[in-house]
Every structure is written in structure tokens, then in C-alpha cells.
Amino acid sequence: MTVGALTVLALWVGARLPLFGSAVSGMVLGLVLRNVFHIGGQFTQITGFCTKRLLKTAIVLLGSTFTLQQAALLGQKYLIVIVTTIAITLAAAYLAGRSCGVPRSLAGLIGAGTAICGATAILTVSPVVQARDEEVTYALSTVFLFNLVAMLLYPLVGHFVSMKEAAFGAWAGSAIHDTSSV
């Protein structure tokens, strides 16, 4: 019931604040409910289902909408930006994690989530690095928190500097850490 009400409220708020949309509204409302009103702890099972089953299904469905030809056309134009961004981000995550004493698996998850495509990458990499459920949850929360900040600030910055749509799309697409957020 609470999840459904939150979804309806996020859609309503997002329609009235189109610069941010329903996704940002839903994240902000969820953060407020969980941290101010302490609502949400009882949803551990449903969030586990969503991150382990529903998200993977959504990834497959999203992938099925693109042809290899479409991916190749997009990739050629931005390949250097993509490869450079991924390499720098993975290296920075490794070095930052090492200097802060973060376990290698957690640093790898955060690096992959930041460099590649957020939750999708974290869930894909987690079995490879043998991450514990707590590390996966922490990495997902970290990436989504930074996505939220980016989704709130980037449109304002892009509008403030009169960025053209294509330039804004390239900037946001290479800098925001999650496919759904972009």
C-alpha cells in the first residue's frame, strides 16, 4: 500500500516539476519516508526482490529495445568519451577505496556502478567480486544517492549555462551513474 501510494505521489509531483520528473520525486519521497518517518524497514523482502529479480528483468527488456546497429552508431560517436570515463572512474574508485580502507569488493562495486551504469553494473559485478549482500546494498545506496544529487543539480546547471540538448545529453549521459537516472 505504501509503495503504491508513494508511486502515485511521485508521478503527481513529477508531472508538476517536469525539470526533475517522477524518478527524482520518488527517490526524494522515499528518502524522506525512510529517514524522517522511519517508514521502509519492513520492505526489506520486497526491495530484495526488486533488486535481484525485477531489475534484472527490466535490464533484459531494456536491452531488447536496441539493435546492435543502433548501439554501434551511438558507440562510434562517443566511444572515446565512454572508454576514458570508465577507465578513469574504475581507477579512481580502486585508489580511493584502497586509501580509505574500503574492502576491494565494495570499491569494485561502487567503481562499476559509477563508471558503467549504476545498479545494473553493481548487480552484474557482485557475483564476480563475491560481494556480500550488505556490500551490494551499500554500493546501490551510494550510487543512487549521488544520482539523486546529479539529477537535481545537472538540469539546473545545464539550463543556467544554456547548454544545447545534445551537449547536455552527452554530459549527463557520461557523468550520471545510472541508466535509469540518465
Percentage of the chain beyond pLDDT 90 is 17
Report the run of H or E that residue 75 belongs to, with start and end. Answer: helix 68-100
On the question of pLDDT at 96 being above 90, the answer is yes
Q: What pLDDT sits at residue 177?
A: 60
Q: What pLDDT sits at residue 106?
A: 94
On the question of pLDDT at 29 being above 90, the answer is no
Question: Which cell is 105 given?
Answer: 569488493
Sign of CA dihedral 171, 172, 173, 176: positive
On the question of pLDDT at 5 being above 60, the answer is yes
Q: What pLDDT sits at residue 41?
A: 63
As a whole number of angstroms, the distance between CA 74 and CA 66 comes to 11
- pLDDT tens-digit profile of 42-72? 666 666 676 667 766 776 676 677 777 777 7
76: helix, strand or coil:
helix
Please tell me which residue, 21 or 140, carries the higher pLDDT value: 140
118: helix, strand or coil:
coil
pLDDT band at 141 (very low <50, low <70, confident <90, very high): confident
Q: Is the pTM of this model over 0.85?
A: no
pLDDT band at 97 (very low <50, low <70, confident <90, very high): very high
Mean pLDDT of the chain: 80
137: helix, strand or coil:
helix
Of the candidates 2, 53, 47, the one whose C-alpha atom is nearest the C-alpha of residue 29 is: 2
As a whole number of angstroms, the distance between CA 20 and CA 70 comes to 27
Q: Are 122 and 112 in contact (CB under 8 A)?
A: yes
Q: What pLDDT sits at residue 134?
A: 87
- pLDDT tens-digit profile of 98-123? 999 999 999 999 999 888 878 888 88
Q: What pLDDT sits at residue 52?
A: 67
Question: Which cell is 12 given?
Answer: 503527481
pLDDT band at 151 (very low <50, low <70, confident <90, very high): confident
